[in-house]
């Protein structure tokens, strides 16, 4: 028995006589790539089965095979596998970035056509199908007001809720809250819009409006957006608070600092950069929502600074409406509005990150 056991024990690998090994010359991988592309082009165009996209795909596959073969022959199996996996991971990265770059490119090229002062300074009021002017001023105002109010509602509630879950919540109640926050994450935006329509617009808003009738408002849209933002803010803040090491809290307790002050002055500042990221994700999501705004703010062509009365538009809704409009000038407006929306979210995110970083000390 013992003899079979010992005979099955894997032998230690033989010590290589030298630490150096044969390597593929530097020029070879690019050369293999070029060759693969040429062969692919020959196959694809020779057989007449496709265009440049298919050439790249076939070329990439041929490159993988060729690289593996070349490396296997010169460097050995382990190195060949390493090269293949590296190539696969790099291609996965390219595949992931490609759509993103394509979106940005399309947005910028098509959006720049109407990216002028007129677009940012006029609304769609009194703009007919034959007018080339018209802009998104009212929609930008609407987006800023609605997302602003939604952020004002969500950020305090969301962060306090996360603090409760992480720092105070014990047992079933905290578990239930976490569960319902999770459920809320999955609410489709149209449902949140319907909820606000049924609850706020139809039932509550008549009591506040001067006419006594139910009416659309930017505030209703902000409410619907809050419902969508809240779970994102709670969950991301919760994760960030959990990442704050327990010894930091204990260090503050040991100085006689009360728990609430420890949370406010030690835990929250430590988690702040992550919390800001989560909040910005939530804001970006809310700024891009169309359905709830359509349902409860109604959209509109005129500028309306008052979030509590009358219709309001938003950038996302503006894009939706212009994209579907019959006017030949509408698509250009839609593209520019989409570009504006992306730029707006980008500016907000960068500004928030810079603000959060200002609190951190330089090394």
Among 39, 174, 257, 323, interactor with other proteins by CB under 8 A: 257
Q: Is 8 in the site for other proteins (CB under 8 A)?
A: no
Q: Is 270 in the site for other proteins (CB under 8 A)?
A: yes
User: Can you read off the two tokens belonging to residue 83?
Assistant: 């090269």
Residue number with CB closer to other proteins (245 or 324): 245
Q: Is 212 left (phi over 0), alpha (psi -120 to 50) or beta?
A: left
- DSSP class of 132: S
Binders in 178-237 for other proteins, by CB under 8 A:
none
Residue number with CB closer to other proteins (267 or 297): 267
Do 134 and 334 meet the contact criterion of CB atoms below 8 Å apart? no
Among 1, 14, 53, 254, interactor with other proteins by CB under 8 A: 254
- Output the smallest distance, CB 292 to other proteins, in A: 37
- Output the smallest distance, CB 252 to other proteins, in A: 7
Among 50, 52, 258, 324, interactor with other proteins by CB under 8 A: 258
Do 294 and 196 meet the contact criterion of CB atoms below 8 Å apart? no
What beta strand segments (E) does the chain contain?
none
User: Can you read off the two tokens belonging to residue 313?
Assistant: 């538009």
Q: Is 358 in the site for other proteins (CB under 8 A)?
A: no
Binders in 271-300 for other proteins, by CB under 8 A:
272
Q: Is 260 in the site for other proteins (CB under 8 A)?
A: no
Q: Is 331 in the site for other proteins (CB under 8 A)?
A: no
Task: Compute the C-alpha angle 204/205/209, nearest 5°.
Answer: 140
User: Could you give the 3-state DSSP secondary structure of residue 312?
Assistant: strand
Among 160, 176, 248, 351, interactor with other proteins by CB under 8 A: 248
- Output the smallest distance, CB 77 to other proteins, in A: 44
Note the residue count of the chain: 363
Please choose, from the candidates 160, 208, 184, 203, the residue with its C-alpha nearest in 3D space to the C-alpha of residue 306: 208
- Output the smallest distance, CB 339 to other proteins, in A: 37
- Output the smallest distance, CB 361 to other proteins, in A: 4
Q: Is 265 in the site for other proteins (CB under 8 A)?
A: yes
Residue number with CB closer to other proteins (30 or 245): 245
User: Can you read off the two tokens belonging to residue 78?
Assistant: 């382990």
Q: Is 5 in the site for other proteins (CB under 8 A)?
A: no
Among 250, 305, 306, 357, interactor with other proteins by CB under 8 A: 250
167-176 LR contacts (CB < 8 Å, sep 24+): 167/241, 167/259, 167/263, 167/267
The residue count for binding other proteins (CB under 8 A) is: 25
Q: Is 76 in the site for other proteins (CB under 8 A)?
A: no
- DSSP class of 307: T
C-alpha separations of 23 from 29, 79, 264 in Å: 11, 9, 57
Binders in 118-177 for other proteins, by CB under 8 A:
170
Residue number with CB closer to other proteins (270 or 290): 270
Q: Is 361 in the site for other proteins (CB under 8 A)?
A: yes
* 98, burial (CB in 10 Å: exposed 0-12, middle 13-18, buried 19+): exposed
Cα 37 to the center of its chain, rounded Å: 34
- Residues 140, 299: Cα–Cα separation, whole Å: 12
Q: Going by C-beta distance under 8 Å and a sequence separation of 6 or more, which residues neighbour residue 157?
A: 230
Residue number with CB closer to other proteins (5 or 246): 246
Which of the stretches 30-38, 92-100, 159-167, 353-361 binds other proteins when contact is defined by CB under 8 A? Answer: 353-361
- Residues 152, 337: Cα–Cα separation, whole Å: 24
β-strand partners of 312: 298
Residues that bind other proteins (CB under 8 A): 170, 245, 247-258, 261-262, 265-266, 269-270, 272, 359-361, 363
């Amino acid at each position: 028995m013992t003899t079979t056991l010992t005979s099955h024990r894997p032998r230690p690998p033989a010590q290589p006589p030298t630490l150096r090994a044969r390597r593929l010359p530097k020029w070879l991988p690019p050369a293999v790539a070029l060759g693969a592309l040429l062969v692919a082009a020959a196959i694809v165009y020779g057989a007449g089965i496709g265009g440049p996209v298919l050439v790249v795909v076939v070329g990439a596959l041929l490159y993988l095979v060729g690289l593996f073969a070349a490396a296997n022959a010169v460097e050995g199996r382990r190195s060949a596998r390493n090269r293949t996996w590296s190539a696969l991971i790099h291609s996965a990265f390219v595949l992931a970035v490609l759509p993103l770059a394509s979106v940005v490119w399309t947005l910028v090229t098509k959006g720049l056509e109407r990216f002028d002062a007129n677009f940012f300074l006029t609304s769609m009021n009194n703009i007919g199908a034959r007018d080339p002017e018209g802009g998104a001023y009212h929609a930008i105002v609407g987006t800023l007001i609605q997302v602003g109010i939604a952020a004002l509602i969500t950020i305090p509630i969301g962060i306090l809720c996360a603090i409760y879950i992480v720092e105070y919540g014990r047992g079933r109640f905290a578990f239930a809250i976490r569960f319902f926050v999770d459920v809320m994450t999955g609410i489709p935006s149209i449902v949140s819009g319907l909820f606000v329509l049924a609850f706020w617009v139809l039932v509550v808003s008549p009591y506040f409006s001067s006419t006594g009738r139910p009416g659309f408002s930017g505030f209703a849209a902000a409410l619907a957006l809050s419902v969508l933002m809240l779970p994102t803010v709670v969950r991301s803040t919760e994760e960030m608070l959990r990442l704050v090491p327990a010894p930091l809290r204990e260090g503050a307790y040991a100085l006689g600092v009360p728990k609430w002050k420890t949370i406010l002055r030690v835990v929250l500042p430590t988690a702040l950069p992550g919390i800001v990221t989560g909040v910005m994700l939530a804001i970006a999501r809310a700024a891009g929502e169309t359905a709830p705004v359509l349902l409860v703010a109604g959209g509109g062509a005129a500028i309306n600074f008052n979030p509590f009365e009358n219709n309001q538009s938003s950038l996302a809704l503006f894009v939706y409406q212009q994209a579907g409009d019959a006017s030949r000038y509408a698509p250009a407006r839609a593209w520019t509005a989409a570009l504006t929306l992306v730029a707006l979210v980008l500016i907000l995110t960068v500004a928030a990150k810079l603000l959060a970083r200002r609190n951190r000390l330089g090394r």
